[in-house]
Chains A and B, each alone.
Chain A
Amino acid sequence: MFIRPFAALAMLGVLAAPTFADAADKPTDPQIAHIAYTAGVIDIEAAKLAVSKSKTKAVVDFAKDMLRDHEAVNKQALDLVKKLKVTPEDNDTSKALTKAAKAERAKLKKLKGAAFDKAYIDNEVAYHKQVDGALETLLIPSAQNAELKSLLETGLKIFQGHEMHAEHVAAGLK
């Protein structure tokens, strides 16, 4: 039952094949908290790179919006795990996400100008789409704690909004 979303992620290249095989189990709340937080950190790192590299106002503004929102959401997530006395637990999905993001950043670092802008924004669209899918089909249905579930549901709306925002910026670059 929980294989499909991971299969979808694997097809999109987020998860390596071994993770896909290992992760058929439903993630626990400490793991979900870790995955959600990691997903935010990844977008913050990408945004910092874009702020330092891009010379296009629309791209820099978008990256700053990402920084501001994800920092705010991750602060809420940290406040919640503290309140619930949950210790986020590293897991294969978080590791796979971090590994894929590291590769993407290495790729982006080599690009300049319009090529960088396009690659960053295209990746933002794809990345937010992947996280939306994981939230909808795996993380939200698996979450046990009602407050965690609610935060993830708000997170989904934020990510969906960012995906649309990124699509608007992408349309403006062409």
Chain B
Amino acid sequence: MRFAWLLPAAAVLFAAGVASASAETITVTIDKLVFSPAEISVKAGDTVEWVNKDALAHTATVKGGWEVMIPPKKMASRVMTAKDTVDYYCRFHPNMKGKITVAP
């Protein structure tokens, strides 16, 4: 009874703990106009982080969908949703291609 007030707080902490433990960050490196790894598998809620080692600006662009700008020597990221099984490319250098698969 004394500790009953703690339960909701514990539940919140537990839920937060579970969320942070399961949501991961997947890094894709861009070096010399190549996305590496080119194909990644993620879960909904995971973050994809692009690290751009080039002196050039790049994008991760989904045709008819979202676009992430990745400035030279910087990084940029996006949280993936269940609908993000996509092919993407760099709008400035369309010969750069990548693929994201959202696992169920």
Q: Which residues of A are in contact with B by a Cβ distance under 8 Å?
A: 65, 68-69, 72-73, 75-76, 153-154, 157-158, 160-162, 164-165, 168
Contact = CB atoms under 8 A, between A and B. Distances in A.
B56 A158 contact: yes
Contacts of A162: 93
A158 B55 contact: no
A160 to B, nearest CB: 5
- Interface majority SS on B: helix, strand, loop or mixed? loop
Interface in B8-65: 32-34, 55-57
B80 interface: no
A157 B96 CA distance: 9
A158 B33 contact: yes
A124 to B, nearest CB: 13
Interface residues of B, number: 14
A157 B33 contact: yes
A86 B73 CA distance: 26
Interface string B76-101: 00000000000000111111100000
A168 B94 CA distance: 9
Contacts of A72: 55-56, 72
A164 B96 CA distance: 10
A164 B55 CA distance: 20
A154 B32 contact: yes
Contacts of B33: 154, 157-158, 161
